[in-house]
Structure 1
């Protein structure tokens, strides 16, 4: 908006301010304008920082949601998948003769 003010325009603005406010009040008005500009810049910087923080938080939430889904869908194993699992598992080695005798004795006692 005021980015293209040159030296002649600045001199014209100062001359108008001198005529409107007078030589006694001009330094006081300049200080007031300077304080207002500093406060405006400080406030706009704080707002910009808060917006950036919020954007970063949203991005972190999105990344976290992508990497850690809340509850992945769980499939119930069907009879076909159980058969496949049984086929993939290695066979259990046969029992030793001692284990077989112990099992037979336990069956006789309990049965």
Structure 2
């Protein structure tokens, strides 16, 4: 702390003994020791407080960074959710339009079939019943044309075969 050597302390002690006298010197030395101890404790407490404040400041900065990152993640998540919702809404609208169009064509087909049946003569109705159904694509038809192996007649075993 202070750069005081032994010779300097010896000179200070001799001067104090001459000025204070042998009766009061021990009491003054004890009081000076208590004050010096208090001063050292006070300095160490101030150092500890400064150290704690520095750590708290670092923690506050770290907390602010974490909060900023959390806000960024929340913002990105909300953007992703809103984008997904827009996509879902768009697909939902497309599906509704497709279903409405399909229902419209189904109604038109039913109406056309009803008009055809009402205006048809009995001969035309018989002809329509005789028209074969629309052929299915080959991938939808079940093929059962599996060739079966020809059966060979069993021949009885002869005594010559046993030897």
User: Which interval holds the TM-score relative to the shorter structure?
Assistant: 0.5 to 0.7
Distance, in Å, in 1 between the alignment partners of 2:43 and 2:9 is 25
CA RMSD of aligned residues (A): 3.8
- Larger RCO of the pair (alpha carbons < 8 Å, separation 6+): 1
- The Cα shift of 1:6 comes to 1.6
5+ long unaligned stretches in structure 2? 104-163
Any residues of structure 2 matched to 1:20-99 within 5 Å, and which? 20-69=19-68, 71-72=71-72, 86=87
Q: How many residues align?
A: 87
Determine if the alignment matches structure 1 residue 15 to structure 2 residue 17. no
TM-score (norm 1): 0.61
Give distance in 2, aligned partners of 1:37 and 1:27. Answer: 15
Instruction: Give the TM-score of the pair, scaled to structure 2.
Output: 0.43
Match of 2:138 in 1: none
Q: What's the CA shift for 1:74?
A: 5.2
SS where residue 23 of structure 2 aligns?
A: helix
Q: Following the alignment from structure 1 to structure 2, what is the Cα–Cα distance between the partners of residues 47 and 17?
A: 31
Structure 1 residue ranges, 4+ long, deviating more than 6 angstroms after superposition: none
Please list the CA deviations of residues 1-29 of structure 1 after superposition, one character each: whole Å capped at 9, or x if unmatched: 732x2221111111000011000000000
Q: Which has the larger radius of gyration?
A: 2
Q: Secondary structure at the match of 2:21?
A: helix
